[in-house]
Chains A and B, each alone.
Chain A
Amino acid sequence: MAARLAVSRWRAAPAAAGRGPLLSCRRWSGAKADTLYDVVVSGGGLVGTAMACALGHDIHFSDKKILLLEAGPKKVWEKLPETYSNRVSSISPGSATLLSSFGAWDHICNMRYRAFRRMQVWDACSEALIMFDKDNLDDMGYIVENDVIMRALTKQLEAVSDRVTVLYRSRAVGYTWPYPFTMADSSPWVHITLGDGSTLQTKLLIGADGHNSGVRQAAGIQNVSWSYDQSAVVATLHLSEATENNVAWQRFLPSGPIALLPLSDTLSSLVWSTSHEHAAELVGMDEEKFVDTVNSAFWSDANHTDLIDAAGSLLQSAVAFLKPTKVSARQMPPSVARVDAKSRVLFPLGLGHAAEYVRPRLALIGDAAHRVHPLAGQGVNMGFGDVSSLVRHLSAAAFNGKDLGSMSHLTGYETDRQRHNTALLAATDLLKRLYSTRAAPLVLLRTWGLQATNAVSPLKEQIIAFASK
């Protein structure tokens, strides 16, 4: 008895001293009348909605109750606007498979998307380039507007509204976690308190609430993060002339990578990661100047130095000698004529990785678990990969009658995804740092490295395969 009093005392103390949106931990089951959900997904972004959708369509979840909590208002989707949105994502074939598994990809195909077959990545400080090309007729990836993806997901979510409930304008303000072991009278479920005071219980809470995840903070999961003193500028650009436009272009400038992603025959999307000041300047400058800046960023050779050029051409001739058939001449991206009015927006960049993806009755997916630089176009794909893996584990657990919040299958998901995500995060961070400098030795290293990688086709295929998952 005394021990139990002591237990409740030490639990109250940290709760009282705790900062942030944390209520004191209630232990009694006076909340037994609350609805008990099987799964609650906190966060209705791309990844959270995809998670709710995938679970709702899963056959082993036919009699389970799923809830999606979204802080924003319900969006009424009218006709698709003519103008393209400036926030786009590069969807890998693996993510496309996930989306088609619950029927969302068909909706996307009926709206609009752009498949690309080739990707050219090159350096501003040298002639080195790498060209990713799929020899067979498969697509390397798809450029889809985020709004289009959300529309498709929402449509599929409405199709399973008997299983999945969506609460809009609902923000969770407090979480009560279960004890690691069963104690008399303590509820084994996660209790969530919403902003309007209502409470609900769940057997599994999935945190999909973005890189400032409230769920992750409330659980006290350590997050390794740093900000890249960079912001990304996005815009919708009109090309000078209509082209086939199925190539994705990315050039590494010393200030940061600039990418041109195809949207249609005449439109492309720009993603330019650069320093905060330069980004603000780009968003503020008038349209003509902006267009000129973009064109010169892609075309200008101002950053070339003779030393690097000589070294680069040396390796290039060696490669050409060894593999005379493969000639990768540097191709130029299409030139830009106009920029869509009001389509220029900037947002800050950073890296983040949660030390643990899972706790008993808790799993993190998407940006809540990992945040990455957009230079590899992998952010949302990693999130969709998390969804794929977690749905697979949960579906098997449900078919085995397991308690959904049990660590035994949640750790399987964590191991699965941490292996993949950590490697990708590390590689992206390394590339970002490697290409942020003008120092000659590093430029030389990366020039030769890029040329060598370009020459070794199996290596390129491995890279494509890893990024396509």
Chain B
Amino acid sequence: MWGGRKLSSCGNRFVGGLRSRCWGTRAEGARLSSSAENQFSWTPQTNPWVFSEYSMMWFKSYRITFACLSRMKIYRYPWTRLYGTSQTTVDSSEIKTFVALAHRWWDEQGVYAPLHSMNDLRVPFIRDNLLKTVAHHQPGKPLSGMKILDVGCGGGLLTEPLGRLGASVIGIDPVDENIKTAQHHKSFDPVLEKRIEYRACSLEEIVEETAETFDAVVASEVIEHVIDLETFIQCCYQVLKFGGSLFITTVNKTQLSYALGIVFSEQIAGIVPKGTHTWEKFVSPEKLESILESNGLSVHTVAGMLYNPFSGYWHWSENTSLNYAAHAVKSMRQEPPVPAGFVFTGKTEELHDKDSINPGVQEELKK
């Protein structure tokens, strides 16, 4: 049916990419062209010549997409290789890829279905925690007046709901194609066009110009692709206003996450495209908390998230051994950055060495 990406349909992927794509469209076609009038055949079931043309396009785009996805994995956050292949000029063969990728990001039953349904958890998580910081909010636009930065926004899956809730959002992603997809998707909605801005860049590039401007920074499903987590968190700290929130969702580094998150999800069931994740780069909540605390972000919440591949829905859980979400708030920063592993409780520390404090923080302290 029209439900989320369910495990039953994943069996098709196991057999082969080409067939799974065709089976998917055929199932849809059967349901949608069942009426006697047949005025709207949603798939070219009626014309065999067209069908094979279509399937050729999918086959080619599927292979190209996979190549792109594995490139994305490597060059997601290339701190040392900032200007890597994400800056290639788009050539004509890439247009097809773009079309295929565009389809993939915003197809709610497609490859990114788990990310779409994760919005049911992460949007309320962000919204409710931000609403706690304001006395009253406008009905209909609860986040209006807030500036949010969505780091690693991809196709804009999380950026758009935040924009709809009234926030001004800037979405950044180092992959050009993703930004193009996101721009294209929001271009149809005049409300989102005004509220959302996309930029193809990395966080480091905009730290200088956007220091202390954001009420919230969202890094959802991003830090497991980052090479230098410490620098990333420091940049997040720098762009946040004092009292601003950092929201992170990521995967824990446990044996269970290897078994279920990599082996099962990627290799067996195909819930996540192959090669998306590297287990070594997963971050445990303890490590994340220590890095956050040592960089002046006090951790308010850490909550586990569980994905049910059969129903396609996510649930909150006590258990953080697979996926989890964290909420941290930029609080008083007194000490210069220290190596990870040395944990502060930032609030109670006294001021020491003014010279080594960031200019941004120094200004804050002067207020």
Q: Is A3 an interface residue (CB 8 A)?
A: yes
Cβ of A183 to closest chain B Cβ, rounded Å:
7
Q: Which of B40, B50, B108, B164 contacts A219 (CB 8 A)?
A: B40
B72 within 8 A of A: no
CB of B243 closer than 8 Å to a CB of A: no
Which of B1, B28, B139 lies in contact with A411, CB distance below 8 A?
Answer: B1
Chain B positions within 8 Å of A336 at CB level:
none
Contact: A181 with B140, CB < 8 Å? no
In the docked arrangement, what's the CA distance between A59 and B137, Å? 12
Tell whether, in the assembled complex, residue B139 and residue A183 are in contact, meaning their CB atoms are under 8 Å apart: no
Contacts of A29 in B (CB 8 A): 188
In the complex, what's the smallest C-beta–C-beta distance from A190 to chain B, in angstroms?
A: 12
Question: Which one, A177, A355, A400, A411, contacts B119 given CB within 8 A?
Answer: A400
* A183–B54 alpha-carbon span in the complex (Å): 14
Alpha-carbon separation in the docked complex, A406 to B123 (Å) = 16
Asked whether, in the complex, the Cβ of B40 is within 8 Å of the Cβ of A177, the reply is yes
Q: Which of A36, A183, A217 contacts B99 (CB 8 A)?
A: A183
Q: How far is the CA of A403 from the CA of B34 in the complex (A)?
A: 27
Question: A residues bordering B, Cβ < 8 Å?
Answer: 2-3, 6-7, 9-10, 14-15, 18-20, 22, 29, 36, 59-64, 177, 179-184, 187-189, 217-222, 355, 358, 360, 398-403, 406-408, 411
Supposing A10-B41, A61-B140 touch, asked if A411 and B3 sit within 8 A by C-beta, the answer is yes
What separation, in Å, do the CA atoms of A218 and B46 have in the docked complex? Answer: 19
Which of A22, A64, A184 has the most B CB atoms < 10 Å from its CB?
Answer: A184
For residue B22, give the distance in angstroms from its CB to the closest CB of chain A.
Answer: 14
Interchain CB contact under 8 A, A14 and B34 = no
Which of B39, B106, B160 is A182 in contact with, Cβ under 8 Å? B106
Q: Give the CA-CA distance A123 to B164 in the complex, in Å.
A: 57
Within 8 Å CB of B54, what residues of A? 3, 6-7
Q: List 17 A-B contacts (CB under 8 A).
A: A14-B38, A19-B37, A19-B39, A59-B140, A63-B140, A177-B40, A179-B42, A181-B106, A182-B107, A188-B185, A188-B188, A189-B188, A220-B38, A222-B35, A360-B2, A401-B163, A408-B108
Residues of B within 8 A of A9 (CB): 50
User: For A15, what are the chain B residues with a Cβ–Cβ distance below 8 Å?
Assistant: 39
Query: CA A398 – CA B127 in complex, angstroms?
Result: 12
Q: How many residues of B contact A (CB 8 A)?
A: 57
Q: In residues 121-172 of chain B, which contact A (Cβ within 8 Å)?
A: 123-124, 127, 138-142, 160-166
Inter-subunit contact A407/B108 (CB<8 Å): yes
- CB interface residues, B 27-68, toward A, < 8 Å: 28, 32-42, 44, 46-47, 49-50, 53-54, 56-57
Task: Evaluate whether A220 and B188 lie within 8 angstroms (CB atoms) in the complex, with A182-B103, A400-B123, A401-B162 already known.
Answer: no
Contact A7 B44 (CB under 8 A): yes
In the complex, B207 has a CB within 8 A of chain A: no
How distant is B350 from chain A, measured CB to nearest CB, in Å?
42
Tell me how far the C-beta of B162 lies from the nearest C-beta in chain A, rounded to whole angstroms. Answer: 6
- How distant is B309 from chain A, measured CB to nearest CB, in Å? 16
> Do B4 and A408 touch (CB < 8 A)?
yes
A188 to B54, alpha carbons, bound, how many Å? 21
Which residues of the partner chain B approach A62 to less than 8 Å between Cβ atoms? 138-141
Query: Are B2 and A411 in contact (CB-based, < 8 A)?
Result: yes
Task: Say whether A36 contacts B35, CB under 8 Å.
Answer: no
Give the residues in chain B near A63, CB-CB below 8 Å. 138, 140-141, 166
- Is B16 positioned at the interface, with any CB of A under 8 Å from its CB? no
Q: Is B184 an interface residue, CB under 8 A from the partner? A: yes
Complex alpha-carbon distance, A379 and B151, angstroms? 51
Mark each residue of chain B from 108 to 128: 1 if its CB lies under 8 Å from any CB of chain A, else 0: 101000001101100110010
Partner of B35 from the list A184, A220, A399 (CB cut-off 8 Å) is: A220
Closest to B104 in A: A181
Report chain B residues within 8 Å CB of A399: 127, 142
Contact of A7 among B3, B50, B123, B127 (CB under 8 A): B50
The 8 closest A-B pairs by CB, nearest first: A62-B140, A401-B161, A401-B164, A63-B140, A220-B35, A18-B39, A401-B165, A6-B50
Determine whether the beta carbon of A64 is less than 8 Å from that of B99: no
Give the distance in Å from the alpha carbon of A355 to the alpha carbon of B30 in the complex. Answer: 14
User: Given A182-B185, A408-B108, are A14 and B41 also a contact pair (CB < 8 Å)?
Assistant: yes
Known: A20-B39, A188-B188, A220-B33. 12 other contacts (CB 8 A): A3-B53, A6-B50, A10-B50, A62-B140, A64-B140, A181-B103, A183-B103, A220-B39, A220-B40, A401-B165, A407-B2, A408-B116
**Chain A proximity of B231: nearest CB distance (Å):** 31
Point out the residues of chain A lying under 8 angstroms from B318, CB to CB.
Answer: none
B40 touches A6 (CB 8 A): no
- Point out the residues of chain A lying under 8 angstroms from B120, CB to CB: 400, 408
A184 touches B102 (CB 8 A): yes
A202 to chain B, nearest CB (A): 12
Whether A10 pairs with B190 at a CB distance below 8 angstroms is no
Contact status B140-A60, CB under 8 Å: yes
CA distance A61 to B140 in the complex (A): 6
Asked if B189 CB lies within 8 Å of chain A CBs, one says yes
How far apart are A132's CB and chain B's nearest CB, in angstroms? 37
Q: Give the Cβ gap from A410 to chain B, nearest Cβ, in Å.
A: 8
Shortest Cβ distance from B49 into A: residue: A6
What residues of A have a CB within 8 angstroms of the CB of B163 in the complex? 401
Query: Which residues of chain A have C-beta atoms less than 8 A from B161's C-beta?
Result: 400-402
User: Chain A residues near B160 (CB, 8 Å)?
Assistant: 401, 403
B46: contacting residue among A10, A19, A36, A411, CB under 8 A: A10
A184 & B184 in contact (Cβ 8 Å cutoff):
yes
> Is A222 within 8 A of B140, CB to CB?
no
CA distance A15 to B41 in the complex (A): 10
- Closest chain A residue to B57, Cβ basis: A3
* Shortest distance from the beta carbon of B122 to any chain A beta carbon, whole Å: 10
Chain A contacts of B37 at CB under 8 A?
Answer: 18-20, 217, 220
Q: How far is the CB of A87 from the nearest CB of chain B, in Å?
A: 32
Residues of B within 8 A of A400 (CB): 119-120, 123-124, 127, 161
Which A residues lie within 8 Å of B47 (CB)?
6, 10
- Chain A residue nearest to B31 (CB atoms) is A356
What residues of B have a CB within 8 angstroms of the CB of A355 in the complex? 34
For B42, the closest partner residue in chain A by CB is A180
Chain B CB within 10 Å, residue with most, of A9, A14, A219, A360: A14
For residue A60, which residues in chain B have a CB less than 8 angstroms away from its CB? 139-140
Nearest B residue (CB) for A175:
B40
Q: Please measure, in the bound complex, the distance between the C-alpha atom of A360 and the C-alpha atom of B188, giving whole angstroms.
A: 17
> Of A14, A36, A183, A406, which is within 8 A of B190 by CB?
A36
Note all chain A residues with C-beta closer than 8 A to B38. 14, 220
Residues on the B chain within 8 Å of A22, using CB:
39
Q: How far is the CA of A398 from the CA of B38 in the complex (A)?
A: 33
Of all chain B residues, the one with the shortest Cβ separation from A216 is B35
Which A residue sits closest to B102, measured CB to CB? A182
> In the complex, which residues of chain B have a beta carbon less than 8 angstroms from the beta carbon of A3?
50, 53-54, 56-57
Min CB distance B148 to A, Å, is 12
Residues of A within 8 A of B140 (CB): 59-64, 398
Q: Which residues of B contact A407 (CB under 8 A)?
A: 2, 108
Q: Are A220 and B1 in contact (CB under 8 A)?
A: no
Distance, CA A221 to CA B38, complexed state (A): 10
Cβ contact within 8 Å between B53 and A6 = yes
Measured CB to CB, the closest approach of chain B to A407, in angstroms, equals 4
Give A221's nearest chain B residue, CB to CB. B35
Residues of chain B within 8 A (CB-CB) of A181 are: 103, 106-107, 110
Closest to A219 in B: B40
The smallest C-beta distance from A228 to any residue of chain B, in angstroms, reads 22
